[in-house]
Amino acid sequence: MLQFVLLAAFVVPAVLFLLTQQNTLKASAVEELGKRPTFEIGIAYCILITTSIAINAGSSHDRQSWVINFATLCSLSGMICWIIYWVRLAQYKKKLGVQR
**Rounded Cα–Cα distance for residues 79 and 82 (Å):** 5
Whether pLDDT at 75 is above 50: yes
Number of H helices, E strands in the chain: 3, 0
Whether pLDDT at 37 is above 50: yes
pLDDT at 78: 92
The domain spans of the chain are 41-100
Whether pLDDT at 22 is above 80: no
Nearest to 21 by CA among 76, 87, 75, 80: 87
The more confident residue out of 72 and 61 is 72
CB atoms within 10 A of CB 57: 9
**Rounded Cα–Cα distance for residues 90 and 52 (Å):** 26
